[in-house]
Amino acid sequence: MSDIRYTNDHEWARLDGVLVTVGITDYAQDQLGELVYVELPAVGTAVNQGDEAAVIESVKAAGDVKSPVTGKIVEINESLNDSPESVNDDPTGNGWFYKIEIGDSSELENLLSEAEYNALIAELS
């Protein structure tokens, strides 16, 4: 069983205490192709669940990363500024985008489990 929850928009969220690490899924990075630019949110920014929190550009498209939970951004993955392609290499590891101090952990219950997310992407294939 994975400790990661997913959105319908292909973001993932991993809870660790009161912090949630956020990134995009392997499926999303595969569909986008090589990432060439990532615009991360500023530390201290407050976001609501579903708000646009980051911007990504790839060789194929540009898009937004929406926050899977409500809270305050407390850390960003600054290495993505110089190496956005690390998202392609390790989307649920070193390719994380930001960490958020969660306001209400019950919001995670509204996200998809790994099995539910796998069923969603199976329908898309």
Higher pLDDT, 125 or 14: 14
Quote the domain boundaries for residue 91.
Answer: 4-104
Cα–Cα distances in Å, from 84 out to 20, 87, 101, 108, 118? 20, 6, 23, 27, 25
What does the pLDDT read at residue 1?
40
Tell me if 54 is assigned to some domain. Answer: yes
| Structure token pair of residue 83 | 């190496």
Q: What is the CATH classification number for the domain harbouring 97?
A: 2.40.50.100
Higher pLDDT, 36 or 3: 36
> Which residue stretches of 1-125 are H helix?
26-32, 79-82, 86-89, 114-124
Tell me if 86 is assigned to some domain. Answer: yes
Cα–Cα distances in Å, from 27 out to 6, 33, 44, 64, 110? 11, 10, 29, 15, 20
DSSP 59: S
How many CB atoms are located within 10 Å of the residue 29 CB? 23
Residue 117 contacts by C-beta under 8 Å, 6 or more apart in sequence?
A: 6, 25
Q: Residue type at 85? A: E
Tell me if 19 is assigned to some domain. Answer: yes
What does the pLDDT read at residue 48?
96
Report the distance separating Cα 60 and Cα 35, nearest Å: 9
What does the pLDDT read at residue 2?
61
pLDDT tens column, 26-75: 999 999 999 999 999 999 999 999 999 999 999 999 999 999 999 999 99
Domains in the chain, number: 1
